[in-house]
Amino acid sequence: MSEKAKRYWRSLNELAGKPEFREWLEREFPEGASEWVGSRRALLKLMAASFALAGLTGCRRPEEKILPFSKGVEGYVPGRALYYASIMTLGGLATGVLVECHEGRPTKIEGNPDHPSSRGATNAFAQASILSLYDPDRSRTVLRQGRRASWEELEAFIREHMQRAGKGEGLRVVSGAVSSPSLLALKAYLLDRYPRAQWVEYEPLGRDNELAGLQTAFGQPLQAVYRFDQAEVIVALDADFLGLDNLAPAWIRDYASRRRPPTGPQDSMSRLYVIEPSLSLTGANADHRWRVRPSEVSAVARALATELGVGGLKVLGQGGPYPWLSALARDLLRHRGRSLILAGPRQPAAVHALVHWMNHYLGNTGRSVYYTEPVVRTDLAALTRVAEEARAGQVGTLVILGANPVYNAPADADFAAAMKRVPVTIHLGQEVDETAALATWHVPEAHYLESWGDGRALDGTASIQQPTIAPLFGGRTASELVALLAGYEQRRAYDIVRNYWLRRWNSPEGERQWERCLHDGVIPGTALPPVTVSPDPRRLQSLLNEPTPATSELEAVFVPSWATYDGRFANNGWLQEAPDPITKLTWDNAACLSPATARRLGVAEGDMVEIQAQGRRIEMPVWILPGHADGAVSLPLGYGRTRCGRVGRRVGHDPYPLRTSAAHGFVVDVTIRRTGRRYRLVTTQEHHSMEGRPLVREATLEEFRAQPDLIHKQGPKAELFSLFKEHDYSQGYQWGMAIDLNACIGCNACILACQAENNIPIVGKDQVRRGREMHWVRLDRYFEGDPEDPQIAWQPVACQQCEMAPCETVCPVAATNHSPEGLNDMTYNRCVGTRYCANNCPYKVRRFNFLDYHKGLEEVQKMVYNPDVTVRMRGVMEKCTYCVQRIEEKKIQAKAEGRKLRDGEILTACQQVCPAQAIVFGDINDPGSRVSQLRRDPRNYSLLAELNTRPRTTYLARLRNPNPELAGQEGS
């Protein structure tokens, strides 16, 4: 930050010199809840203070610099947002983000276009993370045996305790996956100082099996990095690389880039084959999909390897028990070097080993996949060992950094019992969770938007995580706690991170480089180099000689949850209310069964069932999911939290008690029994068929090539006239949007981005049940075809901004009107709430505030609001505005600069977040704009065009690319 800005910020607070303010600052603001239930004045003070902290002496971080991403603080204008580059880390892997801040208050997360994992997009978790920052249920104070204590007491305790630590016998540290170079350096320092200590990294949804498989395949510790833009034929074996097995939005971008319909005869669209037990997002997007039990994937992988003739295997040519496999194999062989096979983290190491052998055999190494040393090394077995040691009384000090093993460690580890046997347990976490409740010390952890750190993307690229606000609840970082434990020279996260990098660079330009890295959000030259690999054929042979894993009548597979991931986002209302893209369930998880399996077991939707495996049992409600594999049940993890904030406590049911270290991905020999009780599950979509209506239009690539006007022929042609005088749309900007259904994978990111941008409230399970969810954009999901093995299509539906809007004519008070730029504007303060507009909207995209959904929010929760968007009161209608606040912002900017807006300058929130770049927004009066080009595409059509509403949002039909050899063979 510049000198000028510092002065400016200082002068902002005349009260900086006043004793009350100093006292308030010194109290490590804000400590207790009492400060938060304050007045508007208190809030303003807080907001002011959160900037002022950077400039005031005497506060905790006097020197820490925050550099804006693209707009200098020099030109800072109150009311205009500043963007800071940072990272969000999930499962140890960093995604680059830009944090939009208003007056020192972060309000929105965007992807960092320069970051390799993001490339401008983010996922739903990143979007919702802003809400977690302002979660009033976050832990606010150090706890000792559940009683309030201070950081100083903890410091004194640790200093004293560690003096007796000796060589670290009995000291165990448990954390989530760590990619942070500075924290890893601290870890090394700690282990150097206490050589007998142990630090275990684990993730409940980690990639342990992949690392083990690669170790088997290539004889060295490796990780795979995929290049989906290089793959023309993709085979996913229980790998949800478009969904929850992937935390890098850039993968989706790469994948989608190969799903664009070909422009020339040489181009082609990639083809996706999925073989999986549950119905994942990737499976739903597949061109061919086969449903198998989770244990059967191994057999499929072997059969495929045989079929391909990997390592000189004899080709049987029949596909073995899978007749479709030979065609698949031929397709792969035709695309040597341009194909890709993946296995999911639920599959055992052997499957991963086979998969990478196959990739290598197909010449994909270095093209669609390359290998590097692993960025994170998680080890679940080590966690179980630590638990065993603890239960045996061999652990004296257990430090848990940001993890919740009592909730999510394998059931056989029995971590709760283990914790109870350890005399000193120190838990760092953002909430007082199941683990915190059993710990002797609990330390509040700072949110990633509040703290300094660093982290690496999957390809190794490192970035600095810079805070955008002072810790709201006085949290600390893992690095600060470890520094304290290790007696490290630097104690503050800022110093730890900065010194690490300055030392690593060791250059006189270090300071400049630091600032540049903060600005860019990536540290150049940190990507990991590819490692040359060579498979060992003998290992392959011995692996293939191993008996195939036993399959059973009924198996259960543990899948991540769209709302809570592994349970960590349970207290995030936005995520809880966002419907699962496949089941459309909200505020719950359920055991998903195929219709046939449900019939066989005699269970119905909403039945509470007891699921038993390996002598362990859980209870869960049943959800019948068309397209699920028979003989399998999917159990989404991350629900049924018992110690959690008010939002997530006891939401859903917890499958972790069934999950052991031996059966971590899936478990065989499962029994399901009805309990006789019923449970109410709530969805946002009650009807799943298109009823033969041309809503989502689609064709196969071949059909479309032969007959490009096919898409238009799928719907009625209606040239109608209007009774009302039509608007003149020939002048000025005319906004329009094109949504490419071929690119959309249904990932929910747009729903969350819209919620964050437009201050959309959550309503809770009961209100969703009553059909009152407020999301401005819906992801309509339709099943078509065989109910056992349907095809799935998504359609994002927000306000279509009709040129002849049916809502406008019926509003008695003229609260909804057309703007000269073709927007269907909603005037909230004129709306009286007759709901007539919503009734007359054929797309049903208008949302009514049936109750005061913003009622009872604590002041800190209101800080998440985007100040550019009105918060709607009860009794008024609301809907998508094409992010009119963003349009106006850019228009004003362009006007001030005396120019016309450039195409692509305005990004709507849904467009900006979309990892698949399925949404394009722009001026349809400009024939050269991207949206105009897309509107001329033969795939372009309007939804319900026959009603003469003339929507400004149009859709581009979906294209599937099935293998002609496999016609009629899907759905084994």
Partner 1 sequence: MATVSRPAETPLVLGEVTLADVTRSVAGIVEAKTPRAWWAAFAFTGTLTLVLIAMLTYLVTTGIGVWGNNSPVGWAFDITNFVFWIGIGHAGTLISAILYLFRQRWRTSINRFAEAMTIFAVTCAAMFPLFHVGRPWRAYWLFPVPNQWSGMWPNFRSPLIWDVFAVSTYFTVSLLFWYLGLLPDLATLRDRARSRIRQIVYGVLSLGWRGSARHWRHYEMAYLLLAGLSTPLVLSVHSIVSFDFAVSILPGWHTTIFPPYFVAGAIFSGFAMVVSLMVIARWFFGLEHLVTMKHLENMNKVMLATGLIVGYAYAVEFFIAWYSGNPYERFAFMNRALGPYAWAYWTMVACNVLVPQLFWFRKVRTSVPAMFVISLLVNVGMWFERFVIIVTSLHRDFLPAAWGMFRPTWVDLLTLAGSFGLFLTLFLLFVRFLPMISMSEVKAMMASEEAA
| Contacts with partner 1, residue ranges (CB under 8 A) | 685-693, 695, 724, 767, 770-773, 778, 780-782, 795, 797, 806, 809-814, 830-836, 838-840, 842-844, 846-852, 873-877, 943-944, 947
CA 283 to chain centre: 18
Please name the residues in contact with 57: beta carbons below 8 A apart, sequence gap of 6 or more.
none
Which residue type sits at 685? Q
* Cβ proximity of 372 and 211 under 8 Å: no
Which is closer to partner 1, CB of 685 or CB of 861? 685
Q: How far is CA 31 from CA 38, 53, 103, 753, in A?
A: 13, 16, 22, 30
Q: Are strands 671-678 and 607-613 parallel, antiparallel or unpaired?
A: antiparallel
Map residue 97 onto helix, strand or coil: strand
Which is closer to partner 1, CB of 21 or CB of 843? 843
Please name the residues in contact with 509: beta carbons below 8 A apart, sequence gap of 6 or more.
none
Which is closer to partner 1, CB of 419 or CB of 945? 945
Question: Smallest distance, Å, CB 135 to partner 1?
Answer: 25
Report the b/e string of 806-831 with b at 16+ CB within 10 A. Answer: bbbeebeeebbebbebbbbebeeeeb
Question: Smallest distance, Å, CB 781 to partner 1?
Answer: 7
Q: How far is 776 from 908, CA to CA, in rounded Å?
A: 13
CB-hemisphere CA count at 13 Å for 227? 14
Q: 840: which DSSP letter?
A: H
Q: How far is 803 from 942, CA to CA, in rounded Å?
A: 12
Which is closer to partner 1, CB of 369 or CB of 681? 681
Q: Backbone phi, then psi, for 537, in 5-degree steps? A: -65, -30
CA-wise closest residue to 325 among 288, 369, 362, 271:
288
Question: Smallest distance, Å, CB 809 to partner 1?
Answer: 5
Question: Smallest distance, Å, CB 810 to partner 1?
Answer: 5
Question: Smallest distance, Å, CB 799 to partner 1?
Answer: 13
Please name the residues in contact with 450: beta carbons below 8 A apart, sequence gap of 6 or more.
133, 467, 468, 469, 470, 471, 472, 475
* Cβ proximity of 286 and 280 under 8 Å: no
CB-hemisphere CA count at 13 Å for 348? 20
Question: Smallest distance, Å, CB 682 to partner 1?
Answer: 12
Which is closer to partner 1, CB of 539 or CB of 769? 769
Q: How far is CA 935 from CA 203, 922, 945, 951, in A?
A: 45, 11, 14, 12
List the Cα angle 296/299/301 in 5-degree steps. 110
Question: Smallest distance, Å, CB 709 to partner 1?
Answer: 22
Alpha helices in 19-105 (DSSP H): 19-26, 40-55
Question: Smallest distance, Å, CB 946 to partner 1?
Answer: 9
Map residue 543 onto helix, strand or coil: helix
Per the listing, tokens 């909403």 go with: 606
CA-wise closest residue to 806 among 723, 869, 916:
723
Which is closer to partner 1, CB of 695 or CB of 741? 695
Which is closer to partner 1, CB of 112 or CB of 949? 949
Map residue 217 onto helix, strand or coil: helix
Q: How far is 638 from 559, CA to CA, in rounded Å?
A: 9
Question: Smallest distance, Å, CB 241 to partner 1?
Answer: 26
Q: How far is 271 from 332, CA to CA, in rounded Å?
A: 10
Which is closer to partner 1, CB of 157 or CB of 836? 836
Question: Smallest distance, Å, CB 812 to partner 1?
Answer: 4
Question: Smallest distance, Å, CB 864 to partner 1?
Answer: 23
Q: Are strands 735-740 and 919-923 parallel, antiparallel or unpaired?
A: antiparallel
Which is closer to partner 1, CB of 74 or CB of 766? 766
3-state secondary structure 345-382: CCCCHHHHHHHHHHHHHCCCECCCEEEECCCCCCCHHH
Question: Smallest distance, Å, CB 642 to partner 1?
Answer: 30
Question: Smallest distance, Å, CB 823 to partner 1?
Answer: 18
Question: Smallest distance, Å, CB 385 to partner 1?
Answer: 49
Which is closer to partner 1, CB of 530 or CB of 806? 806
Q: Please count the other Cβ atoms lying within 10 Å of the Cβ belonging to residue 960.
A: 22
Which is closer to partner 1, CB of 400 or CB of 804? 804
Which is closer to partner 1, CB of 69 or CB of 562? 562
Question: Smallest distance, Å, CB 626 to partner 1?
Answer: 15
Question: Smallest distance, Å, CB 945 to partner 1?
Answer: 12
Which is closer to partner 1, CB of 23 or CB of 691? 691
Which is closer to partner 1, CB of 14 or CB of 686? 686
Please list the residues that pair with 370 across neighbouring strands.
225
Q: Are strands 397-401 and 171-175 parallel, antiparallel or unpaired?
A: parallel
Which is closer to partner 1, CB of 552 or CB of 817? 817
Which is closer to partner 1, CB of 253 or CB of 847? 847
Q: Which tokens sit at 636?
A: 């989404």
Concatenate the DSSP letters of all residues of 620-639 into one string: EEEEE-TTPPTTEEEEE-S-
Which is closer to partner 1, CB of 700 or CB of 948? 948
Please name the residues in contact with 545: beta carbons below 8 A apart, sequence gap of 6 or more.
none
Q: How far is 23 from 26, CA to CA, in rounded Å?
A: 5
Q: How far is 244 from 125, CA to CA, in rounded Å?
A: 10
Question: Smallest distance, Å, CB 828 to partner 1?
Answer: 10
